[in-house]
Structure 1
Amino acid sequence: MKIYVKVYRVQGEILVAACDEELLGKTFTEGELKLEVKERFYKGELKDPEELARFLEEATIANLTGERCVKKAIELGYIDEKRVLHIQGVPHAQMAKLL
């Protein structure tokens, strides 16, 4: 299974949005939390999860949704697994690099 990766470059920031491909277009809710995996935000290029490393290396901000994306970011040391939010069992994490 692959992941979608989309890169935004805005005012000196590099935002990486990535999600597991099967989550694209779905919405998850749990209590007052709502996670929308919108196509217009996440749908970029389909990549192997291993390729996420090179995108996160240059990212200043990242928005990651799904088992494969979040697991890879944890393995690479970008995300602390204790800080991962789960909504209807779907992991979601955000990262910001302080420069």
Structure 2
Amino acid sequence: MYIKTYKTDKHFMVAACDKELIGQTLKNEACEMKVNASFYQGEEGTEEMLEVLLMQATTANLTGKKAVACAVKCGIVDPNSAIYFDEIPHALYFTL
């Protein structure tokens, strides 16, 4: 999967997606989502790398079965909260 991080003074965001999704446009009945390389394509990473980063994140944007499953495993995303585009899960995580 690809993992990219973004830092500001107050926030640490992790964007991750399954590699095969880069460049695709995913659709559901309400809208569509472009899996944009400039947003998601950082370094290639493992589930273990993503777990470490997610535990530090204040925000996460996750697309794909592997990326979302990792966030569920970490306990930061409820599997019932993911939305689906062409049967591909997408989940967001925010801390307040």
TM-score, with structure 2 as normaliser:
0.95
Structure 1 unpaired stretches of 5+: none
Runs of at least 4 residues of structure 1 off by over 6 A? none
Q: Equivalents in 2 of 1:51, 1:78: separation in Å?
A: 15
Two-structure CA RMSD over aligned residues (Å): 0.9
SS of aligned partner of 1:11: coil
- Say how many residue pairs are matched: 96
Q: Equivalents in 1 of 2:86, 2:11: separation in Å?
A: 30
Which residue in 1 is equivalent to 2:71? Answer: 73
Q: Equivalents in 2 of 1:51, 1:75: separation in Å?
A: 13
Aligned match of 1:63 in 61, 64, 72?
61
TM-score, with structure 1 as normaliser:
0.92
Q: Equivalents in 2 of 1:78, 1:33: separation in Å?
A: 25
Structure 2 unpaired stretches of 5+: none
Identity percentage over the alignment?
36
Q: Equivalents in 2 of 1:30, 1:72: separation in Å?
A: 23
CA drift of 1:32 comes to 2.3
Q: Equivalents in 2 of 1:25, 1:50: separation in Å?
A: 24
Aligned match of 1:13 in 8, 11, 14?
11
